[in-house]
Each structure stands twice: as C-alpha cells, then as structure tokens.
A and B are shown apart, each in its own frame.
Chain A
Amino acid sequence: MKKFKYSEITSEKIYNKRRSFIRSMGYGLGTIALSSVPLINAKANNSNKPTSYKDITTYNNYYEFGTGKGDPHRRAKNFTTRPWSVKIEGEVEKSLELPIEEILAIKSEERILKLRCVEGWSMVIPWLGFSLSELLNKVQIKSTAKFVEFETVYNPEEMVGQRYPTLNWPYIEGLRIDEAMHPLTTVVTGLYGKPLPNQNGAPLRIFIPWKYGFKSAKSIVKIRLTKNMPNTAWKNASPREYGFYSNVNPEVDHPRWSQATERVIGESILAPRIKTLMFNGYGDEVAYLYKGMDLKKNY
C-alpha cells in the first residue's frame, strides 16, 4: 500500500451512485431470511476508496461524548474548540504552549489513510494534516525522553461521557518516541478538505494508521515527553486486552474476538469481510520499528 495518495477525494456524485446501488440491492432482498442464502465469496478487496463524509462523521468511537457510535455526532455539535492551546512539556529543554491558530498555520496536506478499529471495522479517510515530528521539532527534546504521551481535554461540562467512569479521564494515549517521529504519524487538522469536525477530534488529533484506532487520541491539549511508558487509557482499563503497542495484527487476536478480518464501513449487507493486513497495510513503512520484537508478547 502506498504511504499516502494525493489523489482526488470521492465526489459526492460517486458517493450517491454507490448509495442508490446499495438501496436497489436492499429492495431486491425483501427479507432477511433470503439474504442469508450463501453468496459467492467475493474477493477481498483492499481498495483505497475513501469512506463517505457522512459515514466518517456519524460513525465514531469517542467515549467522551458517549459509548454509542452516533453519540459523538449528536453531542459534540456545540463543543468549544476556541480558545485552545496545546502544551508540549516533560523531557524537553523548555516547555512550550502553542495557540491552536499557530499549529493550524503549519502547512497541511491530504493524507488518505486507513483506519482499523480494534472492534473489527475499517474506513479510508482523506485526512488533512502533517507529520507529528514537525510539531515536536519546535521543542528541544532531551535524550532522556523515550515516550510521547497525548492528553485529551477534560471538559465534563460539554463532554457528557466524562461524567461517567467509562474510562479513566482524561484520556491518555502514547507512543514510543521513534513511533511518534515516524512521518506517517500525523497531526490531523481536517478531513475531506474541510476543518476537522468536532466528533472526529477537533480542533486537533493525531492519527497513527498502523495502530488500532483508539491509539489516535482526539482533542489534544497536552503532549508530554516522558521517560516511562505512559499509562494509556485502554491498557489501564483492561491490560490483557489492549496493549501499549496495539499494532494492527491479524495474527494476534483480541482475547475475546478475532482480528483476522474486518468489515468495511459503508459497504452493503452483501459485502464480505476483508482480510486484515499486518500493520494495516503499512508494513513496508513501519515494520522496521519492531525488528526483533515479539509482537505476540508486545501486543
């Protein structure tokens, strides 16, 4: 798979065509029982066709706004994203607080990257963003820094999900420093050529395409360089099920479900699951980071 394509995004027209096609199949189905008839096992296609804007912005895991997939879209409408600033601190010579305007002024490019959720579904998203290393290079990182920790804003007034102990708030995620400096690790500022919608992590999130989606923290207020491995949110909630690395890996199952295949968001009920690829298809770019590591142990 190519690193990122600067191709044109799906036009609304193609998107609509696809929808009507799915609908027409729906009519043909009639009953659910009928649709259970064995179907030709269509070839698993790992296409790079972007998921529709609608699906990307209405089907989200963002527990700060609730555990339902539709909750973030409904509840993040009036989320306050200005004023906003991001602190870079910890193992740095001099910590830095950047106003969001200054970060958004960094030149963004379109990066069409695949998102694979730990739950077993995937999307292809035309993000706008730039490499995290560009941001981290604004500070002098000490040689003692081994990890990078991301902290999501804590705002239970507006983030209703934070009023319940679903996870330990605020949400913490993290990367090893070499992972964080990898050019594919992206600071996301928008999608489909538009500013980042609130439900997708506005005003600023990161995106790591070769790791399960939950590694990509949203609405970031702090980036901390640390000596020790961060105590990340999902690892904290269930260490046996969610490891620090959480690289997409079809050979290492989640203890409770398989990770060998995935469902492509936006496909019809007749579409088959597709095979999940090692490192979500970005192995050529990132496999060297884990050379010599037992990925079954370091899940």
Chain B
Amino acid sequence: MKNYFKPTVFLLSLWPIYIITYQIFYNKLGPEPVDRIINHFGEWTLIFVLLTLSMTPLKKITNSVEWIKFRRMLGLFAFFYASIHMLSYVGLDYRFDFEPLINDVLKKKFIFIGFSAWLLLIPLAITSSDKMVRILKKNWKKLHRLVYIISIFGVLHFIWLSKTIFFKPLIFLIILIILLLFRINFRKFNLS
C-alpha cells in the first residue's frame, strides 16, 4: 500500500464536514437548517457503517488484504458522525431539554433503536486500538461482530423515521442486505 493512501482516505472521509461547513457559512442549509444538519450526519453515519462493512467483501472479491487497513478508520468515522448526529439532535433540536428527550428515547422506537445503535458503537470505538486487539485477543472479534447488529439498527432507524421507505431508506436496506449476505455465503464456503 502506498503510504499516502491512508491520509487520502482520511481527508476524503471528512467530506461531510466540508459540505456542512460550506452550507453554514454560505447560508445554504435551506428552510429547515436543524433538520438538515441532523439528517446530513445521520445519512453519512449510515454510509460509513456500510463502507466499513464493505471492506471484507472487497477483500474477498479483489483478493487483496489492503482494504482491511481502512476498516478501522472508516468505522471510527462512522462513530464520529453518529456522535455529531446524536449531539445535534440533543443539542440543536431539543436544546438539552432532557425530559422530552428521555420520553422520546423510551417511547419512540426509531429514536430508541437509533440511540441503542450509538451506545453499541461506543465499546467498538474504545477497543479499536492495536493494543486493545492484543489485550482482547479472540474476544475482540466477537465483540466487533456487534457491528452487524448496529448496522441493522441504523437502517431500521432510518426506515422507521421516514414517512415512506421510498427511496433512500430502501436503497440503504438493499445495500445492507447484500453486505450481510456476503458474510453468510463466505462462512459456508469456509466450512465446506
């Protein structure tokens, strides 16, 4: 791997930040700016979760392990954007008014599942370092399988908050199903 690959991917992964900064400074957030910011980071979180899940299939397809080197960074970006998404919801939309917020988290299933997904991302982010991989050994892999549940929660979150599944939530769902099917197929391969 060329040694400028990783910094390039890092800078490209900041794309959602460039966009929103531009839109804030040039007043291009549109008629519903708070909604725009929350949705922007929500969608990018899902994109990064799916990108993270794409690395293993890409490895198998291209027969190159290089892809795996980006997985941690992409996963951490997913956590980063999920955190901004959550914070802008709590801070911008609800202005840290925790009573209705807690009410929403418990009563509204799309918020409950979205918040759960974010909580589940925390242990994965904490244990992402090489050191933690060494410490946790085999358990590391088990723990990081949580990403499958997180990805399902994330897509369900998007479906449940939308008035209709057409078209963005549906597209995310289809891509997720394809990426998860890859896992099932390849495991069968290994067994035979």
- Residues in chain A within 8 A of chain B (CB atoms): 19, 22-23, 26-27, 29, 32-33, 35-39, 41, 51, 55, 58-59, 63, 67, 69, 118-119, 121, 164, 166-167, 237, 253, 256-258, 260, 263, 265-269, 272-273
With A26-B24, A67-B164, A166-B166 already in contact, the answer to whether A257 and B110 are too (CB < 8 A) is yes
**What residues of chain A lie closer than 8 Å to B96, measured between beta carbons?**
38
Chain A residue contacts of B25, Cβ below 8 A: 26-27
Identify which of B90, B92, B163 contacts A35 (C-beta below 8 A). B92
Known: A36-B87, A36-B88. A258 touches B166 (CB 8 A): no
Alpha-carbon distance A108/B107, docked complex (angstroms): 45
B27 touches A23 (CB 8 A): yes
Q: How far is the CA of A69 from the CA of B36 in the complex (A)?
A: 11
Contact with A along B101-136 (1 / 0, CB 8 A): 000100111100000000000000000000000000
B12-33 CB contact bits vs A (8 Å, 1 = yes)? 0000000010001101011111
- Prevailing SS type, chain A contact patch: loop
**A38 close to B95 (CB less than 8 A):** yes
Known: A36-B91, A41-B97, A269-B92. 14 other contacts (CB 8 A): A26-B27, A29-B24, A36-B92, A51-B31, A58-B30, A67-B163, A121-B32, A166-B164, A256-B110, A256-B161, A257-B110, A265-B31, A269-B34, A269-B37
> Cβ of B7 < 8 Å from any Cβ of A?
no
Residues of B within 8 A of A35 (CB): 91-92
Nearest Cβ on chain A to B36's Cβ, whole angstroms: 9
CB distance from A51 to the nearest CB of B (A): 8
- 25 A–B contact pairs at CB < 8 A? A22-B27, A29-B24, A32-B20, A32-B37, A32-B84, A33-B87, A36-B92, A37-B91, A38-B91, A55-B31, A63-B164, A67-B163, A69-B30, A69-B31, A256-B108, A256-B160, A256-B161, A257-B108, A257-B110, A257-B161, A258-B108, A263-B34, A265-B31, A269-B33, A269-B37
B35 interface hit (Cβ, 8 Å)? yes
Contact A258:B100 (CB < 8 A) given known A26-B24, A55-B31: yes
Chain B residue contacts of A41, Cβ below 8 A: 95, 97
Given A41-B97, A269-B34: A67 in contact with B92 (beta carbons within 8 A): no
Cα distance A258–B100 in the bound complex, in angstroms: 10
- In Å, the complex CA distance between A112 and B49 comes to 45
- Chain B nearest CB, measured from A216 CB (Å): 16
User: Hey, which chain B residues are within 8 Å of A260, CB to CB?
Assistant: 100
Give the contacting residue for A39; candidates B20, B95, B109; CB below 8 A: B95
Interface size class of B (residues with CB under 8 A): 20 to 34
A67: chain B residues within 8 A (beta carbon):
163-164, 166-167
- In Å, the complex CA distance between A51 and B31 comes to 10
Bound: A38/B29 CA distance, A: 21
Most central of A32, A67, A167 by chain B CB within 10 Å: A32
User: Which chain A residues lie closer than 8 Å to B97 at the CB level?
Assistant: 41
Given the complex, which residues of B lie within 8 Å of A37, measured CB to CB? 91
B102 smallest CB distance to A (angstroms): 13
User: Using a CB–CB distance below 8 Å, which chain B residues touch chain A?
Assistant: 20, 24-25, 27, 29-35, 37, 84, 87-88, 90-93, 95-97, 100, 104, 107-110, 160-161, 163-164, 166-167
In chain B, what residue has the closest Cβ to A58? B31
List chain A residues, Cβ under 8 A from B90.
Answer: 36
Closest to A120 in B: B35
A22 contact set on B, CB distance < 8 A: 27
In the bound complex, how far is the Cα of B142 from the Cα of A246, in angstroms? 48
Q: For B33, what are the chain A residues with a Cβ–Cβ distance below 8 Å?
A: 267-269
- Give min CB distance, B21 to chain A, whole Å: 8
Q: Which residues of A have CB within 8 Å of B32?
A: 59, 121, 263, 265
What A residues does B31 contact at CB under 8 A? 51, 55, 58-59, 69, 265-266
What residues on B are CB-neighbors of A19 within 8 Å?
27
Q: How far is the CB of A152 from chain B (nearest CB, A)?
A: 17
B30 is contacted by which of A59, A166, A253 (Cβ under 8 Å)?
Answer: A59
Residue on A nearest B35 in the bound complex, by CB: A263
Question: Which 5 pairs between the two chains have the least Cβ-Cβ distance?
Answer: A36-B91, A55-B31, A269-B33, A59-B31, A23-B27
**Complex alpha-carbon distance, A118 and B161, angstroms:** 12
Q: Give Cα A267 to B36, complex, Å.
A: 12
Q: Inside 8 A of B20's CB, which chain A residues have their CB?
A: 32
Whether the Cβ atoms of B34 and A119 lie closer than 8 Å is no
Q: Which residues of A contact B92 (CB under 8 A)?
A: 35-36, 269
Question: Measured between alpha carbons, how far is A228 from B166 in the docked complex, in Å?
Answer: 30
